[in-house]
C-alpha cells in the first residue's frame, strides 16, 4: 500500500506494560471519513475528531491505549488537542490534519509527560512495515491483533486496503463498537468515502455483539491518500471499491467477536422470512444480545426456548406456530414445535464446535438479517471485575 507509515511503541501508559502508543501517517493529506460512538458520554478524542473531520482531510492519527481520556473535563480536551499538536510538529504537518484516538480506563488524567517523551521515537522509527506494531499498540483486553489486507483493481489499476481494529469488550451494535482504522491508496473524495464507510459499517460493525455495552471512545476512521493510480470515476468503480472494503470490515468485525472477552464460541444468527427489514433486524439483534442465549452457548445447550423467547420479545412480528429453527443443519423446531431428543442431541454436538450458525425462519415474508455474537463465560466476569484494580 502506497504512502502510509505505521508504528507502535511502549510509552508507559498501560498499567501492565506493553505497546500503548501508535501512529498512522500518510505522506500526503488524505480524504477522510469516520463514524463515532453514539454514547452521549463521549471521550475528548471523539469530540475533537468530529470537529476536525468536517473538512474531510486527515494526514495522521495518534492512538493510545490504557487511558480513554474520557470524563476528564476541559483538561482532557486540552490534552487531546495538545497531543495532536505535538504529533503534528514532529511530523511537520498542519495541526488540523492530525487526529487522536484513545482507549482504556475512563476518568484518569492523560499521562502527557510520557506521551511527549515517546513521540520523537514513535515518529522517527515509523515505516510501512510496522502495521502489526500499530495493531499491538491499540489493544486493551484483546488477546489477538486484528489486521485485514486486500487488493483490488479499478480500470486495470490496482489499489490496496489495510484495516486494523481493536475490540473485545463493550461491543454492541451502535456504531462504532471498537476502534478501527482503514487505510487505502485509492483516489476517492471524502464524501464518497463517507458513503462507503457508513454503508459498510451497517453490515459489519453494526451487526456484532459481545456484551451489549457501547464504549465512550468508539471510532471507525478511514483514510484514502490517492497515491495509487486507481481513481473512483463512475458508479461502477464505487461498487468495486465497496465490495473490497466490505470484505475488510466484515472480517475485522468477525475477529472482534471471536476475540470477545472470555469468548469460546462464535455464532451467527440469521433471521429469514421476516415481514419487514426492521422485523428481521429486531429479532436477530435480540437473540444475539440475549445473555440467556449467550450462556446457553457457553453450556453447549441447545435451549431453543431461550431463542424463541428472545424472538418473541424483540418487537418484531413473529407467529410461534410458523417458526422453524436450525442449529447448524439440524432442524430443532418445525412450525413452532420441538422435533425431538435426537435432533436436540445432534444440535448439542454442533454447539460443541467453536463456530456455528443458528437460523430462524419466521415464514412471514421475504426479509432477512443477521448478527455475529459470542458466548458469555465466567472469564468475562473476571476480566471486567479486575479491569481497573
Q: What mean pLDDT is predicted for residues 137-142?
A: 90
Q: What mean pLDDT is predicted for residues 112-117?
A: 97
Residue 172 has what pLDDT?
61
Residue 214 has what pLDDT?
64
Residue 169 has pLDDT above 60, yes or no: no
Which residues are catalytically annotated?
177
Neighbours of 341 (CB within 10 A): 8
Which residue matches cell numbers 437473540?
Answer: 287
Could you give the 3-state DSSP secondary structure of residue 350?
helix
Residue 130 has what pLDDT?
98
Region 4-258: CATH code: 3.60.70.12
Going by C-alpha positions, the residue among 46, 35, 61 that lies closest to residue 183 is: 61
Residue 295 has what pLDDT?
93
Residue 176 has what pLDDT?
47
Residue 72 has pLDDT above 80, yes or no: yes
Task: Judge contact between 307 and 344, C-beta under 8 A.
Answer: no
pLDDT above 70: percentage of residues in the chain: 94
Residue 165 and residue 258: Cα distance in Å, rounded?
13
Per DSSP, the residues of 31-98 read: EEEEEE---SS--HHHHHHHHHGGG-EEEEEEEEEEE---S-HHHHHHHHHHHHHHHHHHHTS-GGGE
Q: Given pLDDT bands bounded at 50, 70 and 90, which one contains residue 378?
A: confident
Mean pLDDT, all residues of the chain: 93
- How does pLDDT run across 141-153, given as a tens digit for each residue? 888 999 999 999 9
Q: Comparing 30-39, 255-264, 271-280, 341-350, which segment has the lowest mean pLDDT?
A: 255-264
Domain 266-385 classification at class level: alpha beta
> DSSP H helical segments within the chain, as ranges?
44-52, 73-91, 112-124, 131-137, 190-202, 235-258, 277-288, 291-298, 304-312, 341-351, 378-385
Residue 212 has what pLDDT?
67
Q: What mean pLDDT is predicted for residues 125-130?
A: 98
Could you give the 3-state DSSP secondary structure of residue 333?
strand
- How does pLDDT run across 207-263, given as a tens digit for each residue? 998 766 666 788 999 999 999 999 999 999 999 999 999 999 999 999 998 887 778
The rounded Cα 33 to chain-centroid distance in angstroms is: 15
Residue 142 has what pLDDT?
86
Q: Comparing 161-170, 293-302, 311-320, 366-375, which segment has the lowest mean pLDDT?
A: 161-170
Domain boundaries, the chain: 4-258, 266-385
Residue 171 has pLDDT above 70, yes or no: no
Q: Comparing 132-136, 154-158, 207-211, 280-284, which segment has the lowest mean pLDDT?
A: 207-211
Amino acid at each position: 500500500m502506497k504512502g502510509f507509515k505505521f508504528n507502535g511503541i511502549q510509552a508507559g501508559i498501560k498499567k501492565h506494560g506493553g505497546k500503548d502508543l501508535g501512529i498512522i501517517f500518510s505522506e500526503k493529506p488524505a480524504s477522510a471519513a469516520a463514524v463515532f460512538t453514539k454514547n452521549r458520554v463521549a471521550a475528548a478524542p471523539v469530540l475533537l475528531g468530529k470537529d476536525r473531520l468536517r473538512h474531510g482531510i486527515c494526514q495522521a492519527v495518534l492512538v493510545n491505549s490504557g487511558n480513554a481520556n474520557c470524563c476528564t473535563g476541559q483538561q482532557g480536551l486540552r490534552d487531546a488537542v495538545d497531543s495532536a499538536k505535538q504529533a503534528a510538529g514532529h511530523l511537520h504537518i498542519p495541526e488540523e490534519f492530525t487526529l487522536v484516538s484513545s482507549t482504556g480506563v475512563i476518568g484518569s488524567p492523560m499521562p502527557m509527560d510520557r506521551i511527549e517523551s515517546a513521540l520523537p521515537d514513535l515518529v522517527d522509527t515509523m515505516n510501512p512495515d510496522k502495521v502489526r506494531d500499530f495493531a499491538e499498540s491499540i489493544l486493551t483486553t484483546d488477546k489477538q491483533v486484528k489486521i485485514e489486507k486486500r487488493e483490488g483493481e479499478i480500470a486495470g489499476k490496482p489499489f490496496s486496503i489495510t484495516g486494523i481494529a481493536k475490540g473485545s469488550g463493550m461491543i454492541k451494535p451502535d456504531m462504532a463498537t471498537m476502534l478501527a482504522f482503514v487505510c487505502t491508496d485509492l483516489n476517492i473524495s471524502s464524501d464518497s468515502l463517507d458513503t462507503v464507510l457508513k454503508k459498510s459499517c451497517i453490515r459489519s460493525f453494526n451487526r456484532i455483539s459481545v456484551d451489549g455495552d457501547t464504549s465512550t471512545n468508539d471510532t471507525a476512521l478511514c483514510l484514502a491518500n490517492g497515491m495509487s493510480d486507481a481513481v473512483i470515476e463512475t458508479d461502477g468503480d464505487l461498487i468495486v471499491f465497496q465490495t473490497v472494503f466490505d470484505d475488510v470490515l466484515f472480517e475485522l468485525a468477525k475477529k472482534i467477536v471471536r476475540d470477545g472477552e472470555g469468548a469460546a464460541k462464535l455464532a451467527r444468527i440469521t433471521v429469514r422470512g421476516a415481514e419487514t427489514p426492521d422485523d428481521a433486524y429486531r429479532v436477530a439483534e435480540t437473540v444475539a444480545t440475549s445473555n440467556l442465549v449467550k450462556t446457553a452457548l457457553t453450556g453447549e445447550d441447545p435451549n431453543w426456548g431461550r431463542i424463541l423467547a428472545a424472538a418473541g420479545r424483540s418487537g418484531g412480528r413473529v407467529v410461534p406456530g410458523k417458526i422453524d429453527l436450525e442449529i447448524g443443519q439440524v432442524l430443532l423446531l418445525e412450525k413452532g414445535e420441538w422435533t425431538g431428543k435426537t435432533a436436540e442431541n445432534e444440535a448439542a454436538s454442533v454447539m460443541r464446535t467453536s463456530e456455528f450458525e443458528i437460523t430462524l425462519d419466521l415464514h412471514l415474508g421475504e426479509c432477512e438479517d443477521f448478527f455475529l455474537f459470542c458466548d458469555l463465560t465466567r472469564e468475562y466476569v473476571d476480566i471486567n471485575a479486575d479491569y481497573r484494580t
